Amino acid sequence: MTTTDAVPVLRDAALDERPAVRVRGLVRRYGRRAVVDGLDLDVRPGEVFALLGPNGAGKTTTVEMLAGLRPRDGGSVEVLGEDPASGDRRWRGRVGVVGQTTGTGNALTVRETLDHYGRYHARPLPTGELLAEVGLAEAAAQRVDKLSGGQRRRLEVAIGVQGRPELLFLDEPTTGMDPVARRQFWSLVEGLRDRGTTVVLTTHYLDEAAHLADRVGVITAGRLVDVAPPAELGAHLRRAATVRWTEAGVTREVVTETPARTLRDLLAAAGAGEVPGLTVTRPGLEDVYLRLVAAPEEDR
Amino acid sequence: MTAPSTIAVRTARPAPPSAGAIGLARIGLELRLYVRDPAQIAFSFAYPVVMLVIFGSVFGDEQVLPGVGLLQYFLPGIAATGVMLTSFQAVGTAVAEERDRGDLARLQTLGTPALAYGIGKAGQVVVTTVAQLAVLLAVAALAYDIALPTDGPRWLTFAWVVALGSVAGTVLGLAVATFIGSARSAGAGIPAFAVVLQFLSGVFFADSDLPTWMDRVAALFPLKWMVQGMRSVFLPDSAAAIEQAGSWEHGTTAVVLVAWVIIGAVVCARTFRWRRAA
């Protein structure tokens, strides 16, 4: 065959295009209730993907299934090219997880903790480097049970990235952090992304998703209702503008996709006079998000 | 070496450390956590020595048999209790707590082999049990003038009773922690069960004084056999006459302890969970 030479090249290209995470029809039931209910999802290599949704939407359950920590009841999942349900230790070494409910031996110091968990990996990041990276260098000699909530989360992240994962799952990483700690945490995630780590994070904070994520997936009632870059989320909802004005002391409101036409009509009717209380507004990210999660059936 | 395999080696991640290597690291971790836990030190490590001191103050020079003082008679029961506490009780309460706190969920996310976790626990049990028995026997010999055996066969018996007893205690502690659920119920239930078992198993009484039904119930559990095996180590052979069986029953002791090791290991292998049931 004359095309033999081209084969490896084609294969490499295929590898590059393969998504880091590919999910089709994912289902998880607790009893008769489907917590995750036919979820589809693709995460590209190297991106920061945020799963945004209210409490109880199925974010944590989804992440736990993708990370191979819980079995699924239906659908197909591929994470770094393998099914997490049967992922071996070598696969798991490529995946980092920062969960909400994971603990560490409380009686150890921060440094002892990192030194210990380093021994679970073939090529761990050096403890000193990790401490500096997550901003815990000064707390290195403190016992874990003496750390603040924010420091504890950073320790969790340090353990999560210690094995140099290609893909990192962060489950509500900043819940309970004060604003300063959240900002520090965000730069930490940006640093990871800059070095090529794919990040999947769950959050119920809009500003966090908007700030960090290349793409946001809005999840509610166990389904993904929209996926887009933060600025383009809910595009069909954003097209509608609200024109408001006051007429005979009563506030009038028109929701329209053609606000200019509505305005022309209004102005024509007013002749040379003013239109009192006139505003034209488009929905912001928060409005879009609230409408997406409030009435998924109508707006999808 | 062929070219493709060189490329494969260069591009692949190195294999993760073996279960043995992680298990070894965990033994160090477990020991460090153990000595930093005041509750474990008090209720599993120091408890037998306290028991010995209390028994020593209550019983003076009373004798069970000619030449066998009461304290000497109860030393085997105290030693066997010590093994149960550093294995079954310490492991059972710690595992329930670690599962509640999410330490085990963390190990799951790191892909830790369950075997490595078991190695860590077993190593911790061996070290703490040996240290505890050394302290107990030293206090018995130095403070209470109890003569310790001088012949090899008795120490050999001691060694296999301790080894089988502590391994059985470890696997049963792991198994019980899975069924008992929360750390709260483990912290209350396991020590209470241990105390009842001590009464049943003749730790506090001369074996011949136990009602027969109690001896029969106790015979289902490992502790009675550990106590009996320990008596064969620390008491003169003439004392076998006041056993209910009239002899030390080494064969039965070994069979029962091995059976519990197997039962515990099978239950662990089938039911061990990193997380509490959802």
- The reported pLDDT for the residue numbered B278 is 56
ipTM of the modeled complex: 0.85
Rounded to a whole number of angstroms, the distance from the CA of A122 to the nearest CA of chain B is 5
Of the candidates A103, A112, A122, the beta carbon closest to that of B14 is on: A122
Residues B80-106 have pLDDT tens digits of 999 999 999 999 999 999 998 889 999
The structural domains of chain A, ordered by start, are: 18-229 (3.40.50.300), 236-299 (no CATH)
pLDDT at B251 over 90: yes
A161: closest chain B residue by CA: B110
Whether residue A107 and residue B112 make contact (CB cut-off 8 A), yes or no, is no
pLDDT at B253: 95
Please give the pLDDT value at position A299. Answer: 44
* Mean pLDDT, all residues of chain B: 89
Give the nearest partner residue to A30 out of B32, B112, B278, using CB atoms: B278
* Yes or no, beta carbons of A104 and B103 under 8 Å apart: yes
Percent of chain A surpassing pLDDT 90 = 51
Establish if A122 touches chain B: CB-CB under 8 angstroms.
yes
Res A188: pLDDT: 87
Q: How confident is the model at residue B42 (pLDDT cuts 50, 70, 90)?
A: confident
Of the listed ranges A3-7, A18-22, A68-72, A74-78, the least confidently predicted one is: A3-7
Q: Are B111 and A99 in contact (CB < 8 Å)? A: no
Q: Which of A57-61, A178-182, B69-73 has the lowest mean pLDDT?
A: A178-182
Mutant choice from B30, B33, B106 vs A, greatest count of A C-beta within 10 A: B106
What's the per-residue H, E or C state across chain B?
CCHHHHHHHHHCCCCCCCHHHHHHHHHHHHHHHHHCCHHHHHHHHHHHHHHHHHHHHHCCCCEEECCEEHHHHHHHHHHHHHHHHHHHHHHHHHHHHHHHHCHHHHHHHCCCCHHHHHHHHHHHHHHHHHHHHHHHHHHHHHHHCCCCCCCHHHHHHHHHHHHHHHHHHHHHHHHHHHHHCCHHHHHHHHHHHHHHHHHHCCCCCCHHHCCHHHHHHHCCCHHHHHHHHHHHHHCCHHHHHHCCCCCCCHHHHHHHHHHHHHHHHHHHHHHCCCCCCC
As a whole number of angstroms, the distance between CA A110 and CA A141 comes to 6
Nearest residue in chain A measured CA to CA from B19:
A120
pLDDT computed for residue B5 by the predictor: 38
Which residues in chain A have their CB less than 8 angstroms from residue B110's CB?
92, 117, 120, 159, 163
Most confident of A13-17, A128-132, A285-289, B161-165: B161-165
Give the mean pLDDT of chain A: 87
A94 lies within 8 A of chain B by CB: yes
pLDDT one-digit tens code per residue, A174-228: 887 888 888 888 998 998 899 899 999 999 888 899 999 999 999 999 999 999 9
Give A149's pLDDT tier (boundaries 50, 70, 90).
confident
